[in-house]
A and B are shown apart, each in its own frame.
Chain A
Amino acid sequence: MRINRRHFLQLTALVGGGMALGLYERPLAGVLAAAQGNGGTAGLSPRVFLRVMPDGKVVIEAKNPEIGQGVRTMLPMLIAEELDVEWSQVQVQQADLHEEWYGPQFAGGSMATPINWEPLRHVGAAGRQLMISAAAKRWGVQESECSTHAGRVLHTASGRSLGYGELADDAAKLPLPDQSTLKLKDPKDYHIIGTFTSGVDNPALLTGKPLFGIDVKVPGMLHAVYQKCPVLGGKVKKANTEALQKMPGVKHVLVVEGTFRGGAVIDSDPGLEPGVAIVAETWWQAQVARKALKVEWDTTAGSPTADQQSSKGFDEKAGQLLKEPAGHTLRSYGDVDGALKSASKVVEAVYAYPFLTHAPMEAQNTTASVSDGKVEIWTTSQTPGGGRRMVAKELGIPESAITVHLTRTGGGFGRRLMNDYMVEAAWISREVKAPVKLLWSREDDFTHDAYRPAGWHGFKAGLDAQGKIVAWRQHMITFGEGAHAASSAGVSAEEFPSGRVPNYFIGHTAMQLCLRTGPMRAPGANALAFVGQSFLDEVAAAAGRDPLDVQLELLEATPVPLPESEQQAQRGPEEYRFHAERLAGVLKQVAEESGWRNRKSGSGRGMGIAAYSCHLGYSAQVAEVSVDADGGVRVHRVWAVTDVGRQIINPSGARAQVEGAIVEGMSHTMLEVTLADGHIMQSNFPQYPLTRIRQVPEIHVSWRITPNSPTGLGEPALPPAIPAICNAIFAATGKRVRTLPLPRSGFRLA
């Protein structure tokens, strides 16, 4: 596929989970056309990215869902910089869902930066150009004699200047600037990009103003809870709806048949799940009524074996399957078996990790108002466009009849790429003929997720007499059917060190699962980095070599290219491909910053190193831990070096993403979701020990600046944190963490 430079990558989250890379035209032309359609009475436009008010105030629309990744601040900074205004002049406003105006509006895949870096700067630059043209015309001077500063156009020769507000009406009547002649700033002139900028919502957030989905209030609104079967897809056989109807405040109790789609591989959004909706005047009344709800479920409605599934059963089956050849080969070259046979040393290990739930602080919710075939929705979704498609499909109405407002969201982590709560709210609102705010309880949130899938990996590596890796075999036991892995349960043919050892095999065997799986922050990578980087550390130890040297040797090896036909399917534009020297670069820098080469290990204290590339970013980390006699692990320090290209846009938000990724990586070492008889066994935070403040180490965040286009930071810094900690535990104790969470390997975070 030829990539046209006038197009931008578009990552679309699919309704069924997962993402597709596509292309979309620059939104600029459409944006400015819409801006000009306004007639110029109140500045540039009422409805699109940029509005310049007659008083000089600049209103910028934040296009994407804000889930804590900082885009409501960062994306408008791009526009403001090139418009050349002061940040203090800018008021940021959340855009509604209008992808035809704004381009893709979703929070996922760390894609906000790569998708928007260029178009949004162009929006700002076009605005600035319009201001210059308007001023030059009014003064009767050449545009080239004009410059801008702090929201004013200056004509230095005559000492005249005009504020953007004074020019806004004129500017709105001008023809569009030619996109190809737009001048973007020299980075040395940036005064907003690259400056620590606090979140635009902070004033409202820190004074308790309504901002989040849970805070939405609509006139005449009722409140709903929705009880689903503890076993996925289970249907209501009998429920005491009449008794509940009489409880205080209760308005409606509905048994919902649902549209759940089962099958051998469950979608991350498999339609409307069956259940009982309780609608009351307040949420607390609905919740009190739910406590009196008695339901007899048909637990096999979703799948005949759904209520027989257990984590223990999957563990046993995976153990058996690892003894057999992989069911599906992803990549195989050279002669792995032969090389293992003639190797000086063979290292073999099985790694495993559990299901995880996203557990964002704000439980799933949506407010929906359905009347006269029209739907208005206020939602916390990360993929509001996908949610709208789902609502349209399930309610049998056109997408054009659905208006979607985006609220601030109390954490995403991938959970809100799914839109089940949105469909439920819309469905209930239609049935009760009133606006409804559906709010899940914490227990709903734990037990009805699309979980990070568990996985098991059998590794075998061969070393030659010099301690060089000559063969690598990786067999993943996952969920799915045949070659088809369930959402976020796959591994690619290019999994490191694919192509960097002379003999290599990677394949998977899939087990059937009746449970939703889905993307969780750094999907795939958050598990694959743990197994791959831990095993590499194990191999290095067996070779008696520094794991840093072994990894650098692999990164510097001449790669064995994928067959041409597979390259087509696997790879995007050159810049977005894996560049080994960038991973080697962050590794070398983190080794230097952490004093890796002079480390002392043993007697209960040690350092571990790991690196990974995902979502177009490159991160390497070193963790330093101590382990007490009872296996209690203290993480003392973590150094993180990350390469996301040539420009850190908001140093505050960027650093926050790395700090948060490391804290979340620590959580991954302690958490698990388990299944028994098809039931999720964890239902609230006491059974799910997320990292607490007293466990948090000193975190050193730094960047490796490289001449690449800026890319996102939501995900790349998470994966290496987990193996860096586990490798440090090995350095401290000589004991390898092969199974997560840590308690299953004899350790715990103290």
Chain B
Amino acid sequence: MSVKLKVNQKAVQVDAPGDTPLLWALREQLDLVGTKYGCGVGVCGACTVLVDGHAVRSCITPVASVTGSSITTVEGLSADGSHPVQKAWDELDVPQCGYCQSGQMMSAVALLGRTPKPTDAEIDTAMNGNLCRCGTYPRIREAIHRASGQQMPALRD
């Protein structure tokens, strides 16, 4: 069984049944391990990726459902950490353990894509599905403000 996907602007082929969660296709077939397994039921946000610009929980998204879509993972933000969201995350030293942060950043990128200058309340609403067990939330808020209002680069691989 083979499924064709477009990940980080690249056409790729995944050798797995169509009901395989996108998370595991990314991690185990495509070696894109920045996207993390957290809960497996779509409630913690660690596995968040962008599908056509929308934040999606990849652990409950079957690969067959995203064949015609453009998928972006944390690796697709930039390889050198130059994306404004990655830069803000580093400058404010957001990560503690860091495990949830790729999911946090992908949710932040989706938010900034539709709301370039979000308020605290808009940030809280958009980010509430992303759990951070270490409690980096105050810095996530600050980092989103720092990255906001900037020109977001076109996402590439």
Contact = CB atoms under 8 A, between A and B. Distances in A.
Interface residues of A, number: 61
A212 B86 contact: no
Given A68-B134, A206-B86, A215-B33, A693 B97 contact: no
A360 interface: yes
Contact of B41 (A653, A664, A684): A684
B7 interface: no
Contacts of B16: 282, 284
A214 B128 contact: no
A612 to B, nearest CB: 18
Contacts of B70: none
B90 to A, nearest CB: 5
Nearest to A410: B99
A413 B134 CA distance: 9
Interface in A678-700: 684-686, 690-694, 696, 699
B124 A694 contact: yes
B46 A361 contact: yes
A568 B32 CA distance: 55
A685 B39 contact: yes
A208 B102 contact: yes
A441 B38 CA distance: 9
B28 A284 contact: yes
Contact of A207 (B21, B81, B131, B137): B81
Contacts of B86: 206-207
Contacts of B28: 223, 282-284
B51 interface: no
Interface string A57-83: 000000000111110000000000000
Interface in A657-672: 659-664
Contact of B24 (A207, A282, A410): A282
A68 B91 contact: no
Contacts of B89: 202, 206
A124 B42 CA distance: 47
Contacts of A196: 93
B38 to A, nearest CB: 6
B109 interface: no
B74 A660 contact: no
A442 B98 contact: no
A694 B137 CA distance: 9
Contact of B127 (A659, A660, A693): A693
A667 to B, nearest CB: 8
A283 B135 contact: no
Contacts of B31: 217
A410 B97 contact: yes
Interface string B62-95: 0000000000011101111100001001110101
A699 B75 CA distance: 32
B36 interface: yes
Interface in A270-310: 282-284
Contacts of A214: 33, 36-37
A363 interface: yes
Contacts of A211: 98
Interface string A201-219: 1110111111110110100
A208 B97 contact: no
Interface string B88-122: 01110101111111100100000000000000000
A690 B135 CA distance: 10
A411 B90 contact: no
A412 B98 CA distance: 12
Interface in B30-52: 31-41, 43-44, 46
B63 to A, nearest CB: 11
Contacts of A410: 36, 97-100
Given A660-B134, A693-B124, A361 B36 contact: yes
Given A283-B28, A409-B97, A207 B78 contact: yes
B131 A361 contact: yes
A495 interface: no
A413 B97 CA distance: 11
B10 interface: no
Interface in A27-85: 66-70
Contacts of A67: 97
Nearest to A409: B97
Contacts, number: 179
A652 B91 CA distance: 10
B90 A198 contact: yes
The residue in A67, A206, A362, A663 that gathers the most chain B C-beta atoms within 10 A of its C-beta is A206
A155 B66 CA distance: 66
A699 B67 CA distance: 44
A359 interface: yes
B125 interface: yes
A434 B153 CA distance: 44
B32 A208 contact: yes
Interface in A213-237: 214-215, 217, 223
A255 B29 CA distance: 29
A690 B100 CA distance: 14
B4 interface: no
B81 A656 contact: no
A634 interface: no
B44 A202 contact: no
Contacts of A696: 135, 137-138, 141
The residue in B35, B77, B132 that gathers the most chain A C-beta atoms within 10 A of its C-beta is B132
A685 B101 contact: no
B98 A199 contact: yes
Contact of A686 (B43, B79, B100, B136): B43
Contacts of B77: 207
B101 A68 contact: no
A523 B110 CA distance: 39
A660 B138 CA distance: 9
A492 to B, nearest CB: 28
Interface in A551-592: none
B73 to A, nearest CB: 7
Interface of A: 66-70, 196-199, 201-203, 205-212, 214-215, 217, 223, 248, 282-284, 359-363, 408-413, 439, 441-442, 652-653, 656, 659-664, 684-686, 690-694, 696, 699
26 contacts: A67-B97, A69-B96, A202-B93, A206-B86, A207-B34, A207-B75, A208-B75, A212-B36, A215-B33, A223-B28, A360-B99, A361-B36, A361-B38, A361-B46, A361-B99, A362-B36, A411-B133, A656-B93, A656-B96, A663-B135, A684-B41, A685-B41, A693-B128, A693-B130, A696-B135, A696-B141
